[in-house]
């Protein structure tokens, strides 16, 4: 594993074009597995000596740590991909990790803001100063497009040039997509751009911090949380809450599921379908509260 792991990560980075965060997750998962092998007598970790029982005991140890099913599934996926690479590289004759079973996923529906809460949220920034104009544009952009945090912080001014009510987003897997932008959001961005031109001209990133440098994801997380705290009691107050709100409200108002999938940049339609479940659950609650014979 000492020799093969760096090659595997390089393969994921160059040939599969995986993001930095995904690479870190794979590396962390596989180094944990390597440590497990060494602590149980396989030192240095030799893949040719790994048995099916070793893998089963490792997965059992993950359950003993009370990790979430999502985390365990990711670690199993890392193992299966690594063993597949080892087989293709001629290190192993078979991928014994294929027999590992993913835990049944937990059905946790995404939380979201109500439309009234969104309206309140957008009225919070102080538009008499540049920070408020920037914050207003950030909040509107998250809700209008459903883009991810890193997609927003990576935006440059040119993403809006030459496009009518749309932006070009550089998303997961180094894939570009065009996302429509609402009129209210475009107005907020244009107001911000007017102010931004007065502040900085040495780079083309859309959003800046107090040091006139490109704003980073942690800074955006903090400012979004500051505003969300004033409108909702939802425990996890992050930019992703606005992404969930965007998707939920789109589905509620009749948007095609495949279109929402493309807006969000999802690879699979099944990932987007969770928002359909959210809407159905809401309809059931309305029915239970409103129909006179709902509980008879």
Q: Catalytic site residue 243?
A: yes
Neighbour count for residue 115 (Cβ, 10 Å): 13
Smallest CA-to-CA distance from 244 within 76, 114, 135, 154 is with 114
Residue 174: DSSP 8-state:
G
Q: Catalytic site residue 13?
A: no
Spot the catalytic one: 74, 134, 136, 243: 243
List, in sequence order, every beta strand (DSSP E) within the chain: 166-170, 176-180
| Secondary structure (H, E, C), 185-209 | HHHHHHHHHHHHHHHCCCCCECCEC
Q: Catalytic site residue 196?
A: no
Q: Catalytic site residue 148?
A: yes
- How far is residue 48 CA from its own chain's centroid? 36
Spot the catalytic one: 69, 163, 266, 282: 266
Spot the catalytic one: 18, 58, 85, 275: 275
- How far is residue 236 CA from its own chain's centroid? 14
Q: Catalytic site residue 222?
A: no
Q: Catalytic site residue 172?
A: yes
Can you tell me the distance from the alpha carbon of 41 to that of 172, in angstroms, rounded to the nearest whole number?
39
Spot the catalytic one: 34, 75, 148, 244: 148
Spot the catalytic one: 69, 84, 240, 282: 240
Smallest CA-to-CA distance from 72 within 82, 60, 84, 81 is with 60
Spot the catalytic one: 172, 177, 225, 282: 172
Q: Which residue has the tokens 């429509």?
A: 180
Residue numbers annotated as active site:
148, 172, 240, 243, 266, 275
């Amino acid at each position: 594993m000492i020799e093969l792991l760096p090659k595997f990560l390089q393969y994921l980075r160059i040939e599969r074009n995986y993001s930095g965060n995904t690479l870190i997750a794979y590396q962390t998962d596989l180094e944990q597995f390597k440590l497990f092998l060494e602590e149980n007598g396989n030192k240095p970790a030799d893949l040719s000596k790994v048995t099916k029982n070793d893998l089963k005991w490792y997965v059992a140890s993950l359950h003993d740590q009370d990790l979430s099913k999502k985390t365990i599934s990711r670690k199993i996926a890392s193992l299966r991909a690594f063993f597949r690479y080892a087989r293709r590289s001629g290190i192993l004759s078979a991928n014994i990790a294929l027999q590992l079973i993913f835990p049944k996923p937990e059905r946790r529906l995404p939380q979201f803001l109500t439309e009234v809460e969104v309206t309140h949220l957008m009225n919070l920034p102080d538009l008499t100063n540049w920070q408020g104009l920037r914050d207003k544009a950030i909040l509107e952009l998250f809700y209008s497009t459903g883009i991810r945090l890193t997609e927003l912080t990576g935006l440059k001014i040119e993403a809006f040039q030459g496009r009518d009510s749309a932006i070009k987003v550089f998303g997961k897997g180094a894939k570009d997509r065009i996302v429509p932008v609402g009129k209210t959001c475009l107005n907020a961005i244009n107001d911000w751009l007017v102010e931004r031109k007065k502040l900085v001209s040495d780079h083309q990133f859309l959003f800046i911090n107090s040091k006139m440098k490109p704003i980073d994801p942690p800074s955006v997380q903090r400012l979004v949380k500051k505003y969300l705290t004033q409108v909702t009691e939802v425990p996890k107050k992050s930019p992703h809450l606005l992404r969930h709100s965007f998707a939920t409200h789109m589905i509620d108002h009749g948007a095609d599921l495949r279109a929402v999938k493309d807006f969000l940049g999802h690879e699979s339609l099944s990932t987007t379908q969770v928002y359909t479940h959210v809407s159905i659950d809401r309809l059931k609650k309305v029915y239970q509260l409103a129909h006179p014979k709902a509980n008879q």
